[in-house]
Amino acid sequence: MALTDNISIEERAKKIKVVIFDVDGVMTNGGLMLGDDGLEYKNFHSQDGLGLKLLHNTGLKMAIVTGRTSNVVTKRAENIKITHIYQGVEDKLEAFNEILKDLNVTAEECMFMGDDVIDLPPMRRAGLAVTVPHAMPLVKEYAHYITTREAGHGAVRELCELLMKAQGTFDGQMAKFLK
């Protein structure tokens, strides 16, 4: 692993105020479906969606930074209450830095979840860098945490629950389901 500090995942997660996600290969399984009508289709997991809504309820801010541009991403973001959306991004570090400025947070207070080398610049700056099992090997080297669930199959939910548990908000979010 390229990371050499001894800060635990829980310590990193406690400091997070902003959660930033790539889309393809993180929020989806990475497959791109293009129809004869020219429209793009993506497959999102419902458990990830609920996890993101629960995370939103805790007060954490969320953002999407993706290299592609798609109406599907805009609609998904609206559904899960993500208001900071950056699409068609070639320089993800530039978008990351803009988010820091707009939300008045430090890099240490941000988590970035990506799966490919284009995600490395913001991952290397973020206080918590997360990836998925199928990520490119170099990305895994720079991740603080690799989910056990695959992208598009609950990886985002796993990360949401990890953050909520570290920040002491998980039980409160689960209480309404355990009445």
Q: Is 116 flagged in the annotation as binding?
A: no
DSSP 96-116: HHHHHHHHT--GGGEEEE--S
Measured CA distances, 101 to 35, 86, 95, 105, 106 (Å): 38, 14, 10, 7, 8
Q: Is 24 flagged in the annotation as binding?
A: yes
Q: Is 36 flagged in the annotation as binding?
A: no
> Which residues, listed in sequence order, are joined to residue 21 by a DSSP beta bridge?
64, 113
Within 10 angstroms of residue 161's Cβ, the number of other Cβ atoms is 17
Binding residue numbers:
22, 24, 115
Binding residue numbers for substrate:
24
Binding residue numbers for Mg(2+):
22, 115
